[in-house]
Amino acid sequence: MSNIVLTADKITKVFPGVIALDKVSFDIKAGEVHALMGENGAGKSTLMKVLSGIYQPDGGAIHHLGKLVVVSSPKEARALGILLVHQELSLSPELSVAENIYLGEWPTNRFGILKKRLMNNLAQKALDSLGSDIDPQIRCGSLSIAKQQMVEIARTLAFNANVVIFDEPTGTLTNTEKVQLFDVIRSLKKSGVAIVYISHKMDEIFEITDRITVLRDGEVQGTVSTAESSVADITKRMIGRDLDQYFHRAKSEIGHVILELHNLSKDGLFRNVSFSVRKGEVVGLYGLIGAGRSEVAETIFGVRQRDSGEVIFDGNDVNYSSPREAIQGGMTLVPEDRKGQGLILGMGGRHNMTLPHLDMFSKMGVTNVSDELTVFEDYKARLDIKITGPEQLLSDLSGGNQQKIVLAKWLCAGPKLIILDEPTRGIDVGSKSSIHEHIAQLAEQGLAVIVISSEMPEVIGVSHRILAMANGELVGEFSGKEMTEENLITAVSVLPRAS
């Protein structure tokens, strides 16, 4: 086929202990948007890093425009016309927009002096053709995330890319920004660029792509035409079994109200949020990033201070001024960013578990090690944590086992309410499923559980009831048969209020 731009032929990439890619083959045609799907850890990002020269494959070949090529560095990939638009944007905030666009290829005279005007003009041209009004001379760090993304896309134009790889581009975008991004992708497509689109958001995949290749555990699970496929089909390929068997909803007795919010508000973050959670109930809090979900949770938990409204917890009107008070009150928040907030990777499992509750484990400031070890062994068995011993450093554990340690850490204080913020982000399918199982167990043991998630199948799969949030407001409540992806999308797709 003449219009195939890039072919990956049996690409294999091995990391210590894991085969990240196992003989992966796929191809991209000019003027096509090709989706690459798979759960986290399926190998999508690794594959893209191999194609863009960041990683070197351990086996297999890459053909570009019919020729066998070795992409040994990002610079070479760029010379071939293969550019990656990173998931975490790779810009230097202190450099100007134009400098970022031409990073590594700055036009200079023979003495190494920059031709700033030339560079700014070229950058302006690239930005203009994207229909963007960004000033190329402005500091990149002063731009919004969406605009920074435009700068990265302008880079692909500046280098005449023929293959552009988008790695989870909409993760941090609002709906309007997403629409703009899709317009840009369509115009790139029209000009004959081959586009790889990595995402795990079904709605986007079915809106923008022509073909879909699914990866699971480093292996290709088939390439299908988007028009002839369905969400169920893709999901099945992604997780290797039907969705029904994948989630566990708690079969618990729903008891009295544990937590009640009345018009909780915090300026600029959320307004008039009211809801309640009962004993034994799992409530999903769904919304896009920036909708205010985590902020509500943090306010309940005393990380942030509310402006107005009230929180009634276990019959008492509470206003915690610090997480410490909230923990002592019987509440627990498992944060989203495991490495940043939840765990200390340079410490062992025992220390991490007991860290927030050292009061409980110590007398006059001296910790009782044997109590700690009992708790450690108890939770190691209950949560089936794969750790060699109480002192093994968490940096050696897989993401899923790290997440279990986080759970253990918060459970060993015996809370009445547990809030889980994105409990399964960034962990592999197997661990995900076992975390869902634990969530169900928690509820069955009589805890009230709030699960914050932006993955729709997850909230639908584990919750008894789902609250949808958008732009800092509660925009819908669904239970039973109303909990469908369509309903959730419609609920959160309200336009932001002009304020």
Partner 1 sequence: MNKPTTVADSASKRNTDSSTSKVVKKLTKVVSEQHIWIFLILCMVVFSFASPYFLTLNNLGNVLTQGSFIGLLAVGMTLVMINGEIDLSVGAVLALASALAIGLQPSIGVWPAILVALLAGTFFGFINGAIVAMSGMHSFVVTLGALIGIRGVVFVYTGEQALMVEDFSYTEYVEIYLGPLSLTAMIFIGFALLFQWVLSNTRHGREAYAIGDNIKSAHEAGIRIKRHKIINFALCSFLAAVAGVLLSMRLGTAEPNAGRIWELWTIIAIVLGGTRLTGGYGSMWKTLGGVITLAVLLNGLRLLNTPNYIELMVMGVVLILALILDKTLASRQAR
Of 16, 67, 113, 481, the residue at the interface with partner 1 (CB under 8 A) is 113
Nearer to partner 1 by Cβ, of 85 and 451: the residue is: 85
Nearer to partner 1 by Cβ, of 112 and 480: the residue is: 112
Nearest Cα neighbor of 371 from 359, 382, 381 is 359
Q: Which stretch binds partner 1 (CB under 8 A): 101-109, 171-179, 222-230, 289-297?
A: 101-109
Question: Rounded CA gap, 493 and 93, in Å?
Answer: 31
16 near partner 1, judged by CB under 8 A: no
Sheet holding 308-313, edge to edge: 270-278, 257-266, 308-313, 316-318
Residues 39-68 that bind partner 1 (CB under 8 A): 54
Amino acid at 296: V
Rounded to 10 deg, the angle between the 369-382 and 399-411 helix axes is: 120
355 near partner 1, judged by CB under 8 A: no
91 near partner 1, judged by CB under 8 A: yes
394 near partner 1, judged by CB under 8 A: no
In 267-339, the DSSP E strands lie at 270-278, 282-286, 308-313, 316-318, 331-334
* 203 alpha carbon, distance to own chain's centre: 16
Of 15, 70, 94, 446, the residue at the interface with partner 1 (CB under 8 A) is 94
Smallest distance from the beta carbon of 112 to partner 1, in angstroms? 5
Q: Beta 282-286 vs 270-278: how paired, if at all?
A: unpaired
Q: Which stretch binds partner 1 (CB under 8 A): 10-18, 104-112, 215-223, 228-236?
A: 104-112
171 near partner 1, judged by CB under 8 A: no
116 near partner 1, judged by CB under 8 A: yes
Q: Which stretch binds partner 1 (CB under 8 A): 12-20, 102-110, 248-256, 444-452?
A: 102-110
| Number of amino acids touching partner 1 (CB under 8 A) | 22
Of 104, 340, 365, 480, the residue at the interface with partner 1 (CB under 8 A) is 104
Of 3, 56, 72, 73, the residue at the interface with partner 1 (CB under 8 A) is 73
Of 31, 60, 74, 309, the residue at the interface with partner 1 (CB under 8 A) is 74
75 near partner 1, judged by CB under 8 A: yes
168 near partner 1, judged by CB under 8 A: no
Q: Beta 282-286 vs 465-470: how paired, if at all?
A: parallel
Q: Which stretch binds partner 1 (CB under 8 A): 98-106, 206-214, 351-359, 379-387?
A: 98-106
Buried b (16+ CB within 10 A) or exposed e, 451-468: bbbbbbbbbbbbbbbbbb
Q: What are the structure tokens assigned to 344, written together?
A: 């200390």
Give the count of beta carbons closer than 10 Å to the beta carbon of residue 408.
22
Buried b (16+ CB within 10 A) or exposed e, 81-118: bbbbbbbebebeeeebbbbbbbeeeeeeeeeeeeebee
473 near partner 1, judged by CB under 8 A: no
Of 25, 90, 265, 398, the residue at the interface with partner 1 (CB under 8 A) is 90
Give the count of beta carbons closer than 10 Å to the beta carbon of residue 41.
24
352 contacts 391 by C-beta, under 8 angstroms = no
Q: Which residues bind partner 1 (CB under 8 A)?
A: 54, 73-75, 78, 90-95, 99, 103-106, 108, 111-114, 116
